[in-house]
Amino acid sequence: MIIPFLSLYLQFDLGLSDPHEIGIWAGVIFAGNFVTSFIFQPIWGKFADRYGRKIMLLRSGFGMAIVMVLMGFATNPWHLLLLRMLNGTISGFNPASIALISATTPKERMGFAMGTIQSGGIAGTILGPLFGGLLADTVGYRPIFYLTGALLFGASLLALIVVKEPFDRAKAAARVQASVVEGLRKLARIPQLMSLFAVTFLIQFAMMSPMTLIPLYVQELHGTAANLAFWAGFVGSVTGLSNLVASPLLGKLADRIGGEKILGVALIGAAISFIPQALAGTVWQLLLARFMLGIFLGGLIPAVNTLIRKYTPDGMESRSYSFNTSALAIGNMIGPITGGALSGYIGIQGLFVLSAFMMMLNAFWVWQSLLRRRSSGVRG
């Protein structure tokens, strides 16, 4: 609900006027959350494996609710940056919820469960900016922070009351708890997990590198005619719509044929879907290509999460998902920066081609590290 008007909040409520200064602050504030998240996610993952996933989920949810409300009281960009970094420090609701679901879901139903939670996340991604933009026009920017904080508080309260976790603290306490570095070393000995972490990074990098330039691409295709903002928003959300539908279906299929196969096919399909985006001559062609991309994206993250649970030793699930979240955060940071830097040389069309290449490289990596290894294991 907040991202669509971050630069406007800096301009109208925090007193910035220079467009270049606004752009720099917006980028730094946006990235600040991911910088601290990358550092602290593995630490919270260790605590989750020691004390339980639900308590870490509640710590993150209630903590982010407070920080979000405080953002509405910011009086200068530094306040907002520090609060965003604090938000990244205490965040971890998503990896905690994924670890909690993975620990309580039968393995034969894991793909469907991960696909369903992916649909929930995508629904929020679609509806959040839509409602945030509409409310900002009617009630202003600061109340959106208060409302978002209240929603986070409500979600955390719901988890507190409804969610049950059969976590054996005595057993967890008896288990030797490695440090964050030692935990990473232990997980690094499992080549499939390292491949999956790399896949997560490459997926986010490929997705985020052209993301910030898509509205300009829509303007190039559509011209300066009426409803430009509507078309830009439609192009941005259509991928989420197809993803929303495809995620649980592909997750269920992964339970039947294996997450490795779904991941490989989805990566190839996503790579192919980037090519018509680079060749689009109209907004409708771009829309169709983005819709097709969303279908294949529906098989990526749920398959990765399912496979992480498959290859992670018992008792280290939260740690493993936290390292994966750190890999995702790096992709979120580096992707837009790299895309912006390269766009002046290769254009957004070139960025789509680069994303296609990254996805194909990713598919080859999955074949080498997961599918081929799995086939060798079956034959052995």
pLDDT tens for each residue of 123-143: 777 777 667 767 777 788 899
pLDDT-above-70 percentage for the chain: 87
Residue 174 CB partners (closer than 8 Å, separation 6+)? none
Work out how many domains the chain is built from and give that number. 1
In a domain, 172, yes or no: no
Domain presence at residue 264? yes
- Domain assignment present for residue 63? The answer is yes
CATH number of the domain to which 225 belongs: 1.20.1250.20
Q: Domain for residue 290, yes or no?
A: yes
Q: Specify the higher pLDDT residue, 377 or 131.
A: 131
Say if 177 falls within a structural domain.
no
CA distances, 121 to each of 118, 140, 156, 298 (Å): 5, 25, 15, 11
Evaluate whether residue 99 is within a structural domain: yes
168 inside domain: no
Range of the domain at 151: 3-161+185-372
pLDDT in tens, 302-347: 888 888 888 888 778 778 888 888 888 888 778 877 777 787 788 8
pLDDT of residue 310: 86
Q: What is the pLDDT of residues 230-248, one digit of tens each?
A: 676 677 778 878 888 888 8
Give the Cα separation of 208 and 355 in Å (integer): 9
From CA 367, how far away is CA 376, in angstroms rounded? 12
d(CA 102, CA 111): 10
Does residue 199 fall inside a structural domain? yes
Tell me the per-residue pLDDT of 11-69, one tens digit each, with 9 for 90 and over: 888 888 887 677 678 777 877 888 888 888 888 887 887 888 889 899 999 999 999 99
Residue among 217, 356, 209, 347 at smallest CA distance from 281? 217
